[in-house]
Amino acid sequence: METLDVALGDRSYPILVGAGLLARAGELLADHVGRDVVLVTNTTVGPLYLQALRDALGERRYAVHELPDGEQHKSLTQVAAIVDTAVRAGFSRDATFVALGGGVVGDMAGFAAAIFMRGVGCVQIPTTLLAQVDSSVGGKTGVNHELGKNLIGAFHQPRCVLIDTQTLDTLPEREFSAGMAEVIKHGAIVDIDYFERLERDIDALMRRDPKALTEAIVHSCRIKAAVVAEDERERGRRAILNFGHTFGHAIEACTAYSRWLHGEAVGLGMQMAAEMSGLDAMSVDRLRNLLTRAGLPSRPGALSAKDMLDAMGHDKKVSAGAITLILLDALGDARVVRDFDQERLHKVLNDWAS
Amino acid sequence: METLDVALGDRSYPILVGAGLLARAGELLADHVGRDVVLVTNTTVGPLYLQALRDALGERRYAVHELPDGEQHKSLTQVAAIVDTAVRAGFSRDATFVALGGGVVGDMAGFAAAIFMRGVGCVQIPTTLLAQVDSSVGGKTGVNHELGKNLIGAFHQPRCVLIDTQTLDTLPEREFSAGMAEVIKHGAIVDIDYFERLERDIDALMRRDPKALTEAIVHSCRIKAAVVAEDERERGRRAILNFGHTFGHAIEACTAYSRWLHGEAVGLGMQMAAEMSGLDAMSVDRLRNLLTRAGLPSRPGALSAKDMLDAMGHDKKVSAGAITLILLDALGDARVVRDFDQERLHKVLNDWAS
């Protein structure tokens, strides 16, 4: 087992990563979970791992809340239902919310923990690669609004994140690849050594080798933690984590959030952002090759350049009307750019639209 | 105008108190309110002061949300509607929520600001005495659940609190007295000099003399700020602010939250807590006299001691099953007590029930 501490003053917490940790949850979470536990999961993950988690946590008072599976259920209504479960169980300020599932479950359970009794403890047990390397660090919780994603939420740091790499064994291929997009992103934005290690280990990772997975998850979380520690409330530097996201969100919006998984769209967005960056052709190729070997798409399908541009203007990361892009000076070296070449943007969008 | 700074590190903010400040809101809030403003008020206060506030704030993009008046509307559904107003206006992270009204408006607008885009700025303009001396400090926001009050919410400090004592001119007599209960509480728990000043100034205050009001509001906010600064997340010492509240909440619960205003119930609860404290008869009399001169009730009406005891066990401040009481060692000197004389509690409840 590897342990990584996310340093955020009195909101610091450990991330535990390894194979078979779910069975040791009772011992590993002893300091973080009290007598009263709200177990939040969904209809897909619950049947796979909920009983094992309860067995490991042992004798406590449980209130189980099983959410419907899918991003379309990530709503304030569903969060209110989770809070309702906690209230009806008679739980109070010393209750702990435990999220068992992917990013949607973690976002909703974390937000419910943030607003129940004005904030109680939360433990995250992410079971998708994307959630493990992305939601584990940053403390973002929340839900969608019918007019936009993640418009409602809170920053609420967990007490502990427990990552059992074995839970990835049941993750569908496409979702695993979508998580790999974020892993590759971490190398691309700040760490060329890590990027090269991923180029070397990509086959082992795609076989879901436990050792390679543990290493990559820990390293990705460490990178994200370092960026977030500099900028917990997302006012500046943290934006480099959005590499590929402005283009990616636009692709998702232009395909009605149905054709591509979020990670797949981000993978495509990273390739667009790399071209927009004016990187040398070899670097662009290396990024594309690694993404392809990770099972990610290299073409977005039919898109209109104008629709893409409109969608980019509506991205949540847009501040006061200006589009912000994360561009690479080189592989492993990203920066936030507000003043970029508009013509180049049009050219990239046209290239990718055709 | 008096200014008080609430010192909470990077969440510090000023409280401005004086007569006629609403008309100067544009100048006084220049650093705290941007171009996009969500004005939240209710159907009672809106018609009285909303136009004056807009005139003072001048040219900006406004989204106005008028809530129905009353505690029964303090729900997550209504907060979702406020957020909806902000989203539909196209507002983003740089929007500011401005709450114009009593504690219910402030709690809901503050909570909406806490969860819109994971937290944006909020300015509180409380128009009741209770909200001015109570909600101005502490950062508590939230809503009720059908099974209990304030079970859903967040800690979210405002950017600024603007208190115009002239808005009290339109406050009904009973509500003014209910606010005075909190003012008197501040003296009773930590400041005998303040308590004596209130004994001297009570007639001027009840006439709503602007100078006396400004002094009392500033001093009450200062006391609350000092207590909160020691314990922002309410884990220990801050509990002394609940003096009178455990009994008061029980009175409210036993009278179906309809007979007494919250402040009136707290006023009664303080008298019960003073007796429970075993204070000398003269101190108990001084407290009762001051509350009576402030227009607060001295008898709760018919109550059952057993119902009161049951209700106290369900108070939100109960941690892990034990009742916590705030008792006075003397006027101006409160402490948190978990290990108290059960027989004495039964006796006090029986005395007040008869």
- C-beta of residue A82 within 8 angstroms of C-beta of residue A105: no
HEC string of chain A equals: CEEEEECECECCEEEEEECCCHHHHHHHCCCCCCCEEEEEEECCHHHHHHHHHHHHHCCCEEEEEEECCCHHHCCHHHHHHHHHHHHHCCCCCCCEEEEEECHHHHHHHHHHHHHECCCCEEEEEECCHHHHHHHCCCCEEEEEECCEEEEEEEECCCCEEEEEHHHHHHCCHHHHHHHHHHHHHHHHHHCHHHHHHHHHHHHHHHCCCHHHHHHHHHHHHHHHHHHHHHCCCCCCHHHHHHCCHHHHHHHHHHCCCCCCCHHHHHHHHHHHHHHHCCCCHHHHHHHHHHHHHCCCCCCCCCCCHHHHHHHHHCCCCCECCECCEEEEEECCEEEEECCCCHHHHHHHHHHHHC
Q: Which segments within chain B are labelled E, that is strand?
A: 2-6, 13-18, 36-42, 61-67, 96-101, 121-126, 140-145, 148-155, 160-164, 325-330, 333-337
Q: Which residue of B has its CA nearest to A107?
A: B118
Q: What is the mean pLDDT of residues A253-276?
A: 94
At B189-226, the pLDDT tens digits run 999 999 999 999 999 999 999 999 999 999 999 999 99
At B32, the pLDDT band (50, 70, 90 cuts) reads: very high
pLDDT for res A330:
97
Does residue B320 register a pLDDT over 50?
no
Q: Does the CB of A314 have a partner CB in chain B at under 8 Å?
A: no
Residue (of A240, A236, A237, A267) closest to A252 by Cα position: A267
pLDDT for res B316:
52
What torsion do the CA atoms of A104, A106, A107, A110 make, to the nearest 10 degrees?
160
Q: Is B239 helix (H, G, I), strand (E, B) or coil?
A: helix
Compare A315 and B233 and report the one with higher pLDDT: B233
Phi-psi map region of A109: left, alpha, beta (phi>0 left; psi -120 to 50 alpha): alpha
Report the residue from B76, B147, B154 with minimal CB separation from A88.
Answer: B147
| pTM of this structure | 0.92
Q: Does the CB of A319 have a partner CB in chain B at under 8 Å?
A: yes
Does residue B51 register a pLDDT over 50?
yes
pLDDT for res A321:
53
pLDDT above 90 covers a percentage of chain A that reads: 85
**Which range is most confident: A321-325, B124-128, B227-231, B309-313?**
B124-128
Q: What is the mean pLDDT of residues A120-141?
A: 96
Sequence-distant (6+) residues with CB within 8 A of A209 are: none
Residue contact A319–B148, C-beta within 8 A: no
Maximum C-alpha span of chain A:
63
Residue contact B118–A83, C-beta within 8 A: no
Phi, psi for B5 (deg, rounded to 5): -100, 125
Residue contact B115–A84, C-beta within 8 A: no
Report the residue from A84, A116, A145 with minimal CB separation from B87.
Answer: A145
Does residue A72 register a pLDDT over 80?
yes
pLDDT for res B324:
87
Residue (of A245, A287, A243, A240) closest to A262 by Cα position: A245
- DSSP code of residue B71: G
Question: What is the DSSP pairing of strand B96-101 with strand B121-126?
Answer: parallel
Residue (of A259, A327, A338) closest to A299 by Cα position: A259
pLDDT for res A9:
86
Residue contact B151–A117, C-beta within 8 A: yes
Does residue A36 register a pLDDT over 50?
yes
Nearest Cα of chain A lies from the Cα of B16 at a distance, in angstroms, of 26
- H or E element that contains B215: helix B210-230
Q: Is B27 helix (H, G, I), strand (E, B) or coil?
A: helix
- Could you count the other beta carbons within 10 Å of the beta carbon of residue A222? 19
Phi, psi for A208 (deg, rounded to 5): 60, 40
Residue contact B153–A115, C-beta within 8 A: yes
- DSSP code of residue B297: -
Residue contact A154–B316, C-beta within 8 A: no
Q: Which residues pair with A39 in a beta bridge?
A: A64, A98
Compare A193 and A303 and report the one with higher pLDDT: A193
Residue (of A134, A67, A57) closest to A96 by Cα position: A57
Does residue A317 register a pLDDT over 80?
no
Token match 């005891």: residue? B309
- Show which residues of A are catalytic: 118, 140, 182, 224, 234, 238, 242, 245, 249, 262
Q: Which residues pair with B51 in a beta bridge?
A: none
- C-beta of residue A114 within 8 angstroms of C-beta of residue A156: yes
At B159-200, the pLDDT tens digits run 999 999 999 999 999 999 999 999 999 999 999 999 999 999
- Rounded to 5°, the CA angle A210-A214-A217 comes to 135
At B81-105, the pLDDT tens digits run 999 999 999 999 999 999 999 999 9
Report the residue from A88, A114, A318 with minimal CB separation from B154.
Answer: A114
Q: What is the mean pLDDT of residues A188-200?
A: 98
Phi, psi for B217 (deg, rounded to 5): -65, -45
Q: Does the CB of A148 have a partner CB in chain B at under 8 Å?
A: yes
Phi, psi for A54 (deg, rounded to 5): -65, -40
Does residue B149 register a pLDDT over 90?
no
Does residue A149 register a pLDDT over 80?
yes
Tell me, rounded to whole angstroms, the distance of Cα A273 from its chain centroid. 19
